[in-house]
Amino acid sequence: MPVADILKCTLADIKQFFGKHQQPDFRAKQVYEWLWKKQVRSFNSMTNLSKETRQLLNEHFVINAIREDYVQKSADGTIKMAFRLFDGNRVEGVLIPHGKRMTACISSQAGCSLTCRFCATGKLGRIRNLDAAEIFDQVVLIRNKAVEHYNSPLTNIVYMGMGEPLLNYREVAQSVHQITASEGLGMSPQRITVSTAGIAKMIRKLGDDEVKFNLALSLHAANDAKRSQIMPINDQNNLQALRESLLYFFEKTGTRITFEYILFDSFNDSIKDAQELVAFAKGIPCKINLIEYNTVEGTGFKKSKAEKVRSFKLYLEEKGKLIANVRRSRGKDIDAACGQLAGKN
């Protein structure tokens, strides 16, 4: 009977397995290459292995691969994919084409425990963490869609789908390793961004680990009372703690931080809010993405009016001397935009 998911095994684990069965070390390297470089998810498809070796693997291992459940394409070209996990749970990922950029937005958890008031995913609660292979396989399947629909490879990956990546840090870090490794997808870590709602001690750990990927903080308010109102995680990770952790992260990695700031009508889009954001960002090497809010039923929030967005951005640039970009929503018509992923079609 199968006893283990081989996708959770290291190369050393597979070598040890073959050693116990009187098979040469190079068999392990062959299998590992099939799994990660060629992304094959069936032992029977590993054609340079003997029938006996494939049978041996089938007897002792399973491959808990994810599979495509459904696909929706937005009028703007954005593609949302739902993935069915081996245990029946479902997560979503998104392919976002924009000019020459082809970005995969991937999930790190099924559901999310953080209950941010404006986000559909938080209403699901946390179901479970994804393992590194499940995260990796999302990238592979979205990459295949990019080639199929746009004849283009992926250029960027953002961990901005379902879940809080830093609450599943070990598996997220391992997935980044597999995505960037030469025996994996060989992508540059500088093309990868991990987004967090803000867990100060874990941001410090990223610094201690001297990670090479980019970090984005979902900020959305630079006032503790206001931020706690929409993001309960702020109660345990206030702005001062976050600011100190971000400065530590930059000191250790030299990587500029991205602040994600959704603009909500008459909540966090005033000039006073912009002033607070400038004060928070002062001294932190950063850029700011101002994000159009995507309606989520039952939240009571609405997106800011165009004139307020312009005024807010202008204040950041002229008074704060900050780099600020407005990010227009993609895939709203298929619930594929920021904050809308909730496993429905």
Q: What is the CATH number of the domain that holds 23?
A: 1.10.150.530
Q: Are residues 23 and 167 in the same domain?
A: no
Q: Are residues 246 and 113 in the same domain?
A: yes
Task: Answer whether residue 2 shows pLDDT above 60.
Answer: no
Residue 301 lies in a domain: yes
Residue 190 lies in a domain: yes
Residue 341 lies in a domain: no
Q: Are residues 121 and 201 in the same domain?
A: yes
CA atoms lying within 13 Å on the CB side of residue 150: 22
Q: Are residues 22 and 166 in the same domain?
A: no
**Bridge pairing between strands 4-5 and 61-62:** parallel
Distances (CA, A) of 54 to 23, 44, 70: 12, 6, 31
Among 212, 227, 224, which residue's Cα sits nearest to residue 260? 227
pLDDT for res 105 = 96
Q: Are residues 91 and 164 in the same domain?
A: yes
pLDDT for res 90 = 95
- Name the catalytic one among 92, 134, 276, 292: 92
Residue 268 lies in a domain: yes
Sorting pLDDT into bands at 50, 70 and 90, what band is 300? confident
Among 3, 26, 169, which residue's Cα sits nearest to residue 34? 26
Sorting pLDDT into bands at 50, 70 and 90, what band is 181? very high
Distances (CA, A) of 139 to 54, 58, 158, 218: 26, 25, 10, 22
pLDDT for res 146 = 97
Pairwise CA distance, residues 62 & 279, whole Å: 53
Sign of CA dihedral 20, 22, 25, 30: negative
Task: Give the gyration radius of the chain's Cα atoms.
Answer: 21
Q: Are residues 313 and 260 in the same domain?
A: yes
Domain interval for residue 125: 67-334
Q: Are residues 124 and 245 in the same domain?
A: yes
Tens digit of each residue's pLDDT (9 = 90 or more) over 199-254: 999 999 999 999 999 999 999 999 999 999 999 999 999 999 999 999 999 999 99
CA atoms lying within 13 Å on the CB side of residue 83: 30
Q: Are residues 256 and 177 in the same domain?
A: yes
- Domain of 294, CATH number, reads 3.20.20.70
Sorting pLDDT into bands at 50, 70 and 90, what band is 339? very low
**Is 92 in the active site?**
yes
pLDDT > 90 in the chain, percent: 85
Domain-ending residue, one of 26, 44, 62: 62
Residues 6+ apart with CB under 8 A from 335: 80, 120, 341, 342, 344
Pairwise CA distance, residues 174 & 133, whole Å: 9
Task: Answer whether residue 341 shows pLDDT above 70.
Answer: no
Total domain count, the chain: 2
Among 63, 245, 71, which residue's Cα sits nearest to residue 141? 71
Q: Are residues 55 and 75 in the same domain?
A: no
Q: Are residues 36 and 146 in the same domain?
A: no
Task: Answer whether residue 303 shows pLDDT above 80.
Answer: yes
Residue 130 lies in a domain: yes
Residue 339 lies in a domain: no
**Is 338 in the active site?**
yes
252 neighbors 218 (Cβ within 8 angstroms):
no
- Name the catalytic one among 105, 112, 286, 338: 338
**pTM, full prediction:** 0.93
pLDDT for res 330 = 67
Among 1, 3, 4, 11, which residue's Cα sits nearest to residue 178? 11
The helix/strand/coil state of 55 is: helix
Q: Are residues 98 and 37 in the same domain?
A: no
Tens digit of each residue's pLDDT (9 = 90 or more) over 16-57: 999 999 999 999 999 999 999 999 999 999 999 999 999 999
Pairwise CA distance, residues 115 & 210, whole Å: 29
